[in-house]
Amino acid sequence: MISEKVKQSFIRIVGSENYDDSKAGRLVYSYDATPQFQSLPDAVIAPRNTKEVSEIVKICNEHRIPLVPRGSGTNLCAGTCPIEGGVVLVFKHMNKILEIDEENLTVTVQPGVITQDLIKAVEEKGLFYPPDPSSMKISTIGGNINENSGGLRGLKYGVTRDYVMALEVVLANGDIIRTGGKLAKDVAGYDLTRLFVGSEGTLGVITEATLKLIPMPETKKTMLALYQDLEAAARSVSKIIANKIIPTTLEFLDQPTLAVVEDYARIGLPTNVKAVLLIEQDGPYEVVERDMKKMAEICQEEQAVSVQIARSEAEADALRTARRSALSALARLKPTTILEDATVPRSEIAKMVKAINEIAEKYNVKICTFGHAGDGNLHPTCPTDVRDREEIERVEKAFEEIFAKAIELGGTITGEHGVGAMKAPYLEWKLGKEGIEAMKAIKQALDPNGIMNPGKIFAKSERKRVVVTR
Amino acid sequence: MTTAKERATIQQQFQTRMNEDELMNCMRCGFCLPTCPTYIESGFQESHSPRGRIALMKAVVDGLIEPDEDVERSLNMCLGCRACEPVCPSGVRYGHLLEEARDIIAQNKKYSLFVRIIRKIVFSGLFPHQNRMRLLTALVGFYQRSGLQSLARRFGLLNLLPRHLTTMEKVLPTVPTWKEMNDRPKQLTPQGIKKRRVAFFTGCLMDTMFMKTNDATMELLQRAGCEVVIPPAQACCGALHGHGGEKHQAKELAKRNIEAFEQLNVDYIVTNAGGCGAFLVEYDHLLKDDADWAERAKAFTRKIKDISEVLVELNFHETKLKVKPQVVTYQDSCHLRNVMKVANAPRQLLQAIEGAEFREMKDADRCCGSAGIYNIVEPEMSMQILDYKMQMAKQTKATTIVTANPGCLLQMKLGIEREGLSSHMRAVHIVDFLLEASGE
Ligand SMILES: Cc1cc2nc3c(=O)[nH]c(=O)nc-3n(C[C@H](O)[C@H](O)[C@H](O)COP(=O)(O)OP(=O)(O)OC[C@H]3O[C@@H](n4cnc5c(N)ncnc54)[C@H](O)[C@@H]3O)c2cc1C
Ligand code: SF4
Ligand code: SF4
Looking at the fold, whether A247 and A300 belong to one and the same domain comes out as yes
Cα separation, A83 vs A460, in Å, equals: 12
Domain boundary among the residues A215, A231, A259 is at A215
pLDDT tens sequence across B386-402: 999 999 999 999 999 99
Contact (CB, 8 A) for A342 and A372: no
- Say if the Cβ atoms of B66 and A23 lie within 8 Å: yes
pLDDT of residue B142: 72
Mean confidence (pLDDT) of chain B: 90
Owning domain of residue A400? 333-446
pLDDT of residue B110: 77
B19 touches chain A (CB under 8 A): no
Report chain A residues whose CB lies below 8 A from the CB of B84: none
pLDDT of residue B132: 73
- Say if the Cβ atoms of A138 and B33 lie within 8 Å: yes
Percentage of chain B exceeding pLDDT 90: 70
Which residue's alpha carbon is at the smallest distance from atom 8 of ligand 2?
A: B26
Look up the CATH number of the domain holding residue A23: 3.30.43.10
**Mean of pLDDT values over B101-115:** 83
Domain boundary among the residues A62, A90, A118 is at A90
pLDDT of residue A470: 38
Domain boundary among the residues A275, A304, A329 is at A329
Cα separation, B13 vs B118, in Å, equals: 25
pLDDT tens sequence across B286-313: 999 999 999 999 999 999 999 999 999 9
What's the one-letter identity of residue A3? S
Report chain A residues whose CB lies below 8 A from the CB of B34: 114, 137-138
**Mean of pLDDT values over B14-30:** 95
User: Please, is A24 exposed, middle or buried when counting C-beta atoms within 10 Å of its C-beta (0-12, 13-18, 19+)?
Assistant: buried
Fold type of domain B317-438: Rossmann fold (3.40.50)
Nearest to B52 among A28, A261, A329 (CB): A28
| CATH number for the domain formed by residue range(s) B179-311 | 1.20.1050
Pocket of ligand 2 (CB under 6 A): A 328, 331; B 26-32, 50-51, 54, 84, 88, 90, 92
pLDDT of residue B183: 78
Pocket of ligand 3 (CB under 6 A): B 35-38, 50, 53, 78-84, 94
Report chain A residues whose CB lies below 8 A from the CB of B56: 24, 27-28
Integer Rg of chain A from CA = 22
Report chain A residues whose CB lies below 8 A from the CB of B21: 335
Q: What ipTM describes this predicted complex?
A: 0.94
Question: Which of B26, B35, B38 gets mutated to test ligand 3 (max ligand atoms within 8 A of its CB)?
Answer: B38
- In a domain? residue A457: no
CA separation (Å) from B135 to B140, B213, B214, B363, B410? 9, 19, 18, 38, 20
> Would the pLDDT of B112 be above 80?
no
**Mean of pLDDT values over B7-36:** 95
* DSSP codes, B272-319: S-HHHHHHHTTHHHHTTT-TTTHHHHHHHHHTEEEHHHHHHHTTGGGS
What pLDDT band is residue B119 in, cutting at 50, 70 and 90?
confident
**How far B92 CA sits from the closest chain A CA (Å)?**
8
| CATH number for the domain formed by residue range(s) B4-108 | 1.10.1060.10
Cα separation, B179 vs A341, in Å, equals: 70
Length of chain B measured in residues: 440
Looking at the fold, whether A203 and A126 belong to one and the same domain comes out as yes
pLDDT of residue A315: 94
Per-residue pLDDT tens, chain A, 470 aa: give them: 899 999 999 999 999 999 999 999 999 999 999 999 999 999 999 999 999 999 999 999 999 999 999 999 999 999 999 999 999 999 999 999 999 999 999 999 999 999 999 999 999 999 999 999 999 999 999 999 999 999 999 999 999 999 999 999 999 999 999 999 999 888 889 999 999 999 999 999 999 999 999 999 999 999 999 999 999 999 999 999 999 999 999 999 999 999 999 999 999 999 999 999 999 999 999 999 999 999 999 999 999 999 999 999 999 999 999 999 999 999 999 999 999 998 999 989 999 999 999 999 999 999 999 999 999 999 999 999 999 999 999 999 999 999 999 999 999 999 999 999 999 999 998 999 999 999 999 999 999 999 999 999 998 766 665 544 43
Looking at the fold, whether A118 and A83 belong to one and the same domain comes out as no
Instruction: Fill in the DSSP letter of residue B208.
Output: T
The size of the A-B interface in CB pairs under 8 A is: 101
| Residues pairing with A455 in the sheet | none
Nearest to A27 among B21, B55, B89 (CB): B55
Looking at the fold, whether A234 and A324 belong to one and the same domain comes out as yes
**Mean of pLDDT values over B406-429:** 92
Cα separation, B202 vs B221, in Å, equals: 13
Question: Which of B40, B54, B84 gets mutated to test ligand 3 (max ligand atoms within 8 A of its CB)?
Answer: B84
Looking at the fold, whether A114 and A55 belong to one and the same domain comes out as no
What's the one-letter identity of residue A45? I
Q: Where are the domains of chain B?
A: 4-108, 114-175, 179-311, 317-438
Look up the CATH number of the domain holding residue A136: 3.30.465.10
Percentages helix, strand, coil for chain A, rounded to the nearest 5? 40, 20, 40
What's the one-letter identity of residue A5? K
Looking at the fold, whether A207 and A253 belong to one and the same domain comes out as no
Cα separation, A175 vs B308, in Å, equals: 62
**How far A132 CA sits from the closest chain B CA (Å)?**
14
Nearest to B31 among A137, A263, A336 (CB): A137
Looking at the fold, whether A308 and A223 belong to one and the same domain comes out as yes
pTM of the predicted protein model: 0.92
Looking at the fold, whether A350 and A301 belong to one and the same domain comes out as no
pLDDT of residue B176: 78
Looking at the fold, whether A75 and A18 belong to one and the same domain comes out as yes
pLDDT of residue B161: 61
pLDDT of residue A468: 47
Cα separation, A436 vs A458, in Å, equals: 8
- In a domain? residue A455: no
Which residue's alpha carbon is at the smallest distance from atom 7 of ligand 3?
A: B36
Which residue's alpha carbon is at the smallest distance from atom 2 of ligand 3?
A: B81
Cα separation, B363 vs B346, in Å, equals: 16
- For residue B26, give the chain A residue with the closest CA: A331
3-state SS of B367-429? CCCCCCCHHHHCHHHHHHHHHHHHHHHHHCCCCEEEECCHHHHHHHHHHHHHCCCCCCCEEEE
- Say if the Cβ atoms of A23 and B46 lie within 8 Å: no
